Structure 1
Amino acid sequence: MEIEKITQAGDFMALLFDMKTITTALGIGYLLSLLVIAAYWRDKQKMNHVKTLFLTSKFMQTAGWFLAVFRGDISDLLSISVANTFMLLGLALEVIALLRIQYAPNPPLVKLYLLITALCIASFQYVYLFDNEEHVRIAVSSIAMAVLLLPVCRVTLDKGASTLMRLSGSFYMLMLVISAYRGVSARHATSWTSLYHPSTYQLISILTIYMALLLSSTCFVLLLKEKASRELVRLASYDDLTDTFNRRTFTVYAEAALDQAAKQRTPVSYLLFDIDQFKQINDTHGHHAGDLVLQNLVEQIKPYLGKDDLFVRYGGDEFGIMLPGHNEAESDELVSAIMQTVRQSAPLVAIPLTYTISVGVITVVPSPRTRLEHLYTSCDKALYRAKRNGRNGMSRSYLHVEQKAEFLV
């Protein structure tokens, strides 16, 4: 029995490693991860800012681990001070890269986060210079890691994030909790918090760090592929100049809205409009000025639209809007408000010009036979009637008796 216990103890101790073995293995793991990801992105896609941030973060973490490998053989300045600085800064860059996949850059917040990163690094350096005890260093570095991981809470709690993004955020949240617990425990000089002391926790720590390395790299690649897929769908669905639906996508959603309204017997209003004398704007000020006018018009209209309203750019300066649930009075009020806003808008900053629009409108309670092209044809006639009446106005199309069978049951 005693011999069996000794054998089992010997087998267990064989799994425990010295610190140099651990750091070498982790350094090699980070290096291989860095090389594989860099090679993949080099072959597949062009480098962008987010990828550069992530690769830089992995490079710094790799450098930090390799400096830690030589602790005892090189100065503590390099193996402790510089190594931990690289690891903390690398983690901060990794978090920034993760957040930039989901959110547009916010310079003030990025500056604040970098300031917090600098304070975390400064705190560790203070301990290294004035209270250079291992358990104190572990406590400060672990708490610093937890602080730097805090922004991932935003991803985890964001209902608009994809399942993969929330799953990745949850993984980083788990690392936050582990780091915070290790930091608090290390304050009491608990031996298990150190990788220098062979124990069960040392083995668990190795496996945890390797899992973190594997999952963080895998999740990041998958998140970038997910983002690329979303961008491809967006490019196929939206007008790239005005960020409104293109004709094909609008047609799909608009016909679905008409079918829904036909089932519920609710009204639908449809607007067709363009910019007065738009060709003259292009000829006088250039096509860049025309693009600015189109973008400015869309920016002024979007605040008036609800989540179910559909906005399309048909081409050139011609736009359409479908307003499910809007009756004649409501659509008239909306068109009047939009036109008033456009008339009273200040001249563009880049170009000293103002502009107006002409609008054709129709309101129907659709039947199952109602088609979008019917509404478009009627609205187009109303739009040209508004043009003939002097522009900068609205004309409404009403169904003739013989047309009602096409729209109404």
Structure 2
Amino acid sequence: MWQSFTVLLIVVYRLRYAQERTSTFFVTAKYLQLAALILLLLNDFTDSRLPIPISMLLALAGGTLESLALLMLLRVFGSRIERYYTILFGVSIVIIVLLHLIMPDERFVMAATCLFGIMIIALPAYILAVKIRETSLQRTIGLLYFVVILALVSKGLEPFYLMLGWNAQTSHWLQIFFYLGIYLLMFLGTAGIMLLYREDSFTELERVATYDVLTGILNRRSFVQRARPLIAASAMKKLPYSFLLLDVDHFKRINDTYGHNTGDHVLKDLAHKIKQQLGNGDLFGRFGGEEFTVLLHRADEQNSDMIAERMRTAVTGAVIHGVPLHYTISVGIITVDSGERYSLNTLYKLSDTALYQAKKKGRNCVVRSYDI
């Protein structure tokens, strides 16, 4: 019943959104798992042995697609992983069919299913809990998958309970642990994945709201939000800081001559090279068009002059699409070392005036403002 309602809710939810490969795998997995559960229920009303192996294969197919959907969501899916799961599922079909034909005891079919189930979910568990573990949610879900693996191990050992010397009470508790593991697996396969979907969507929205789409650096809004507290902290501790405003010389001419696509590559090349000149505490953002801003944390006049000159020379000798494309930048700079706190708008206006002077001097140079 739980699985049926889960499938119903997912299908209704999915009608509203575009269907992509990850969600298709996820929903198909739920269909297969629901079919496996229905066959297990029908097994109580028939003398045939067929429902057991078929339901096991359906469960493995559903688990495989669910794991693939999870790996796609985590952005680690590739041809090697696809090949691994394809081979794994193919081998599981052969083994389970052979066991069904050879072994009259269905426990061996169940044990083989548990073994392949472990191999199916081990990779997502490892990636979530060990390899990526970027968030608390990912680590927690990964650790819970390891609990499921332990539950599958307990069921997989069922044909060997007597050989291991385990009594009936131990077998009973292991059986309970197995069913709890199955319920946990159903929970992780629904609520867990949906929470990861939600977290991934929120992270993507935050990235879009924070970073410039073209260059990958801070957009204007995010730069302002992060610069203000840094300026306040520097002023409070009476530490120097420098604000730089720079843009590409004759950028309109580049667009008109080579096209806007080349112009975009020039901006990306500029952003990449400027980032290489900055320290961890510095801020770098795009204010719009070909205009960029830099806040050098704890940089006095001497250090900021040196960094600004490195920026100017770093862009020379650019190669765009394998073709040398010479472009230059002009920089306006202002440094505050008095411990006073100035608004970001004031710093912008003063550095913009210095940038204008750099343009008048012939471009491709650094001009400092001393108006503070």
Using the size of structure 2 for normalisation, the TM-score is 0.83
How far is 1:274 from its partner? 0.9
In the other structure, the counterpart of 1:250 is 223
Deviation by residue 1:151-174 (Cα, 9 ceiling, x = unmatched): 322322468623233222222221
How far is 1:381 from its partner? 2.0
The answer to whether the Cα contact below 8 Å between 1:268 and 1:366 also exists between their aligned partners in 2 is no
How far is 1:214 from its partner? 3.1
In the other structure, the counterpart of 2:353 is 381
Amino acid corresponding to residue 192 of structure 2 in structure 1: C
Q: Residues 304 and 176 from structure 1, CA distance in 2 versus in 1: closer, same or farther, beyond 3 angstroms?
A: farther
Counterpart selection for 1:124 from 92, 111, 127: 92
The answer to whether the Cα contact below 8 Å between 2:262 and 2:320 also exists between their aligned partners in 1 is no
Q: Which runs of 5+ in 1 are unaligned?
A: 1-27, 404-409
The answer to whether the Cα contact below 8 Å between 1:70 and 1:79 also exists between their aligned partners in 2 is no
Counterpart selection for 2:343 from 352, 359, 371: 371
Deviation by residue 1:325-382 (Cα, 9 ceiling, x = unmatched): 2333433343333333321222235x77442222222232253432222221222122
Amino acid corresponding to residue 365 of structure 2 in structure 1: G
User: What secondary structure sits across from 1:395 in the alignment?
Assistant: strand
Q: Distance in 2 between matches of 1:357 and 1:160?
A: 41
1:347 and 2:347 aligned: no
Using the size of structure 1 for normalisation, the TM-score is 0.76
Q: Percent sequence identity over matched residues?
A: 30
How far is 1:272 from its partner? 1.1
The answer to whether the Cα contact below 8 Å between 1:258 and 1:366 also exists between their aligned partners in 2 is no
Amino acid corresponding to residue 153 of structure 2 in structure 1: A
In the other structure, the counterpart of 2:79 is 111
User: What secondary structure sits across from 1:344 in the alignment?
Assistant: coil
Question: 1:297-308 maps to which residues of 2 (within 5 A)?
Answer: 297-308=270-281
Counterpart selection for 2:121 from 149, 153, 174: 149
Q: Distance in 2 between matches of 1:244 and 1:382?
A: 23
The answer to whether the Cα contact below 8 Å between 1:261 and 1:365 also exists between their aligned partners in 2 is no
Counterpart selection for 2:301 from 328, 331, 340: 328
In the other structure, the counterpart of 1:274 is 247
How far is 1:187 from its partner? 5.9
Q: Distance in 1 between matches of 2:189 and 2:96?
A: 29
Q: Distance in 2 between matches of 1:158 and 1:135?
A: 34
The answer to whether the Cα contact below 8 Å between 1:266 and 1:325 also exists between their aligned partners in 2 is yes
In the other structure, the counterpart of 2:148 is 175
Of 144-153 and 266-275, the range deviating more from structure 2: 144-153
Question: 1:41-120 maps to which residues of 2 (within 5 A)?
Answer: 41-43=14-16, 45-70=17-42, 76=50, 79-80=52-53, 82-101=54-73, 103=74, 105-106=75-76, 110-120=78-88
Q: Which runs of 5+ in 2 are unaligned?
A: none
RMSD: 3.2
Q: Residues 54 and 139 from structure 1, CA distance in 2 versus in 1: closer, same or farther, beyond 3 angstroms?
A: same
Q: Distance in 1 between matches of 2:309 and 2:341?
A: 30
Q: Distance in 1 between matches of 2:91 and 2:347?
A: 67
Amino acid corresponding to residue 304 of structure 1 in structure 2: Q
Aligned residues: 360
How far is 1:60 from its partner? 2.8
How far is 1:111 from its partner? 2.4
Amino acid corresponding to residue 188 of structure 1 in structure 2: F
| 4+ long deviations beyond 4 Å | 67-75, 129-132, 189-193, 198-204
In the other structure, the counterpart of 2:110 is 138
How far is 1:70 from its partner? 4.8
Amino acid corresponding to residue 65 of structure 2 in structure 1: L
Q: Distance in 1 between matches of 2:142 and 2:338?
A: 46
How far is 1:253 from its partner? 0.9
User: What secondary structure sits across from 1:34 in the alignment?
Assistant: helix
Q: Distance in 2 between matches of 1:257 and 1:331?
A: 16
1:227 and 2:195 aligned: no
Q: Distance in 2 between matches of 1:318 and 1:205?
A: 61
1:166 and 2:134 aligned: no
